[in-house]
Amino acid sequence: MIQKRTRFFFTLFVFIFSALAVFANDFPPAYPFGLHLEQDEFLLLQNGDSLMDYMEISPIPRRIPVSPLTESLKKRFPIDVYGDIIMLRKRTDDLDNESFLLKGLNRFLSFSDQKGIEYTSDNHGLITLINDSYSLNDRMKKCDDQELTSLPRDLTVYAYQKDYYFSGNKFRYDITSVDEGVRIKANNLNDMRVKGIFKAIDKNKMDMEFYILTDSEYVCVYGIALVEDIQNPVEAFGISVDIPSAMSKRMRAIIEWFLDTP
């Protein structure tokens, strides 16, 4: 009787253990920052590649990192068009998170250093994406880049940038920081014109947001452009511009510059 009972509990234990093993194999792995990724996507990110989405692929971006900074982002959908991009890097420094984020934010706010950022166009090869870039004061006059000595909870700065797609534009940058990351939200202060010829995006209708998130092992940068009151693609005078694609390429070039420059 005792042997039968022992055999029963042993069989039950093996069954439960096997079921748990199968369940564990089927359960998706936990990726940094709560990212919803396929395994091959995570491998691409670990190899230094980027992942991009457009509204044509998914009506709501699925790779928004899980963070207090990103909690309200999904509530903004549906929206007319969006493009987003995400990159991930292993940390090799010995800084605490706050010092790391402060260094990264100062890097991002060095707008004058963004002049000359290049990217590879499918049609034109290597081109200069940002032809001019500098900081502005609150009177919209050119000024030196800021260098912060501590992480701000809330900060507003301004910048001018002239790029390959949209010529010269002024932007307002609203910055929010918490313990694990920084959000940098850019809003266009003027109508954005393709090649300076025809209007593509109305004033205050484009938000371009960057999220810099970190833990002890990784830094993740997520960028998303959200455009309201627009038909896509924008076409005039024989020129056609796919706005989500153009915005995502712009964000990718800036994020690569940010992550790959000491």
Residue 140 and residue 162: Cα distance in Å, rounded? 15
* Structural domain of 242: 36-260
The structure's pTM equals 0.83
The verdict on residue 1 lying in a domain is no
The verdict on residue 31 lying in a domain is no
Lowest mean pLDDT among 14-23, 67-76, 139-148, 201-210: 14-23
Q: Are 88 and 218 in contact (CB under 8 A)?
A: yes
Q: Give percent above pLDDT 70 in the chain.
A: 82
141-181 tens-digit pLDDT: 999 999 999 999 999 999 999 988 888 999 999 999 987 89
The verdict on residue 239 lying in a domain is yes
Q: Which has more pLDDT, 123 or 224?
A: 224
Q: Which residues pair with 77 in a beta bridge?
A: none
The verdict on residue 16 lying in a domain is no
The verdict on residue 145 lying in a domain is yes
Q: How confident is the model at residue 44 (pLDDT cuts 50, 70, 90)?
A: very high
* The residue count for the chain: 262
How many domains would you assign to the chain? Answer: 1
The verdict on residue 27 lying in a domain is no
pLDDT at 235: 67
pLDDT at 21: 45
Task: Please report the beta strands in 55-95, taking only residues with DSSP state E, as ranges in sequence order.
Answer: 81-90
pLDDT of 97 higher than 50? yes
Residue 152 and residue 182: Cα distance in Å, rounded? 9
What CATH number does residue 185 fall under?
3.30.530
pLDDT of 11 higher than 60? no
The verdict on residue 208 lying in a domain is yes
Section 113-119 average pLDDT: 91
The verdict on residue 18 lying in a domain is no
128-148 tens-digit pLDDT: 989 999 999 999 999 999 999
Residues contacting residue 174 through CB under 8 Å, at least 6 positions apart: 154, 155, 156, 184, 185, 187
How many other CB atoms are there within 10 angstroms of residue 132's CB atom?
A: 15
